A and B are shown apart, each in its own frame.
Chain A
Amino acid sequence: MHDTQWPIFEVFHQASRGEPHVHVGSIHAPDGATALMLAKEQFGRRQACVNMWVVPVEAIIATDYADADLFAHGTDKSYREAFGYETTKRAKLVGDAEEI
């Protein structure tokens, strides 16, 4: 069936400055400015937000779910993970101290 709705925009929401923008959903809108205006009430009205992005859905280039095996870890590659470094240990100590 032909989709007669407005184009879809994906909505990203930032809870505070410096935090990553997180995908929160999508909306229909005729253009970007209207998408932002409408997204503010759909997704910004109940949670803290300092910044919002809308992205036309066709601007997103995605993998296919059929290719999910691209991301599989077939063998033990723990040697590739970054541990054992002094900085990693220090970062962990700082992190632990902050948690306390």
Chain B
Amino acid sequence: MTSTATSEAMSTATKAAVIDLLYRLADDSLIIGHRNSEWTGLGPILEEDIAFSSMAQDKMGHALALYGLLHQLGEEPPDRLAFARGPRDYRCCDLVAMEFLSGAATDGPLCNNPVRDELVSRGDWAGSLVRQFLFSEADAVRMAALETSAYEPMAQLARKLRGELKYHTLHGRLLIERLGKATEDSRSRLNGVIERVWPQALGMFEPTKHGQTLASAGICPTEEALCDRWLGEVEPIIERSGLSRPKHAKPAYGGRAGNHPPELALLLDDMQRVYRLDPTAQW
């Protein structure tokens, strides 16, 4: 990976592949950031509430930076990419849109909400935690590979995000290991979620038609290669935490091509509601 691809030097096919990659990364970041932020004020303990919310903000920051790279390549400005696109245009994987706090995307303020406890009881913190763990491990593996990407703006950004992603994986590993070994209740909750989300977790690595172009240009390894590296990271952690994962799950694909479960449309309705009141408003 020695060549430096700039937007001027890239062929049309390479540029289209880079744009597709950036949409996948940015949309994953924005959607998991939004999902995790729904727990703000409702987290299991104060300190974890703050840590989880802070990581959600990190992911929003990553999304903004990635949408910024897209804008440099001629796509619309970040706010329009986040708030003016419908679900068909989103390229996130299914894992990030899964809803573990049902009712969070309904009307009514959550802060100081007298039914807070009821909201929390309907939510599944284990689901969000396991999702965050599995996602951050994939995020770290992918960004580590992208640090040497031939697409230099991506490589620079990947190096900048290293520290934050190090924290995200530290957080996930620590809690998964402790909760996996804590009680029968915590262990069975984690195992239940791992079983349930494993197809979507594998779906993070859905192959795209641009995969070979990206790999041969030295811009990003194939999804298959990244999935192998990710398994190499998460399997030992799952094992030493006394947990298990399904061995023959069928990956949930579709998100990278814009085919999402209805959860994403509901999330976007909620997230984009204020922007859509007046898309020309200056903030």
Give me the interface of A with B, judged by CB distance under 8 Å: 6, 27-31, 33-34, 37-38, 40-42, 45
Contact = CB atoms under 8 A, between A and B. Distances in A.
A45 B171 CA distance: 14
Interface in B199-244: none
B47 A28 contact: yes
A33 B51 CA distance: 14
B167 A42 contact: no
B171 A28 contact: no
B167 A33 contact: no
For the complex of A and B, list the 6 residue pairs with the smallest distance between their C-beta atoms, beginning with the closest: A41-B51, A38-B47, A41-B54, A27-B47, A37-B174, A45-B54
8 contacts: A6-B45, A28-B47, A31-B178, A34-B178, A37-B51, A38-B50, A40-B51, A41-B51
B47 A42 contact: yes
Interface residues of B, number: 14
Given A28-B45, A30-B178, A37 B170 contact: yes
A33 B174 contact: yes
Contacts of A41: 47, 50-51, 54-55, 167
Given A30-B178, A33-B174, A45-B54, A38 B167 contact: no
B167 A40 contact: yes
Interface in B31-86: 45-48, 50-51, 54-55
A77 B213 CA distance: 79
B111 to A, nearest CB: 19
Contacts of A45: 54
B136 to A, nearest CB: 13
Contact of A34 (B46, B54, B55, B174): B174
Contacts of B51: 37-38, 40-42
Given A34-B178, A45-B54, A29 B167 contact: no
A37 B50 contact: no
B235 to A, nearest CB: 22
A37 B178 contact: no
Nearest to A41: B51
A38 B48 contact: yes
A38 B171 CA distance: 8
A85 B171 CA distance: 53
Interface string B84-109: 00000000000000000000000000
B99 to A, nearest CB: 24
Contacts of B174: 33-34, 37
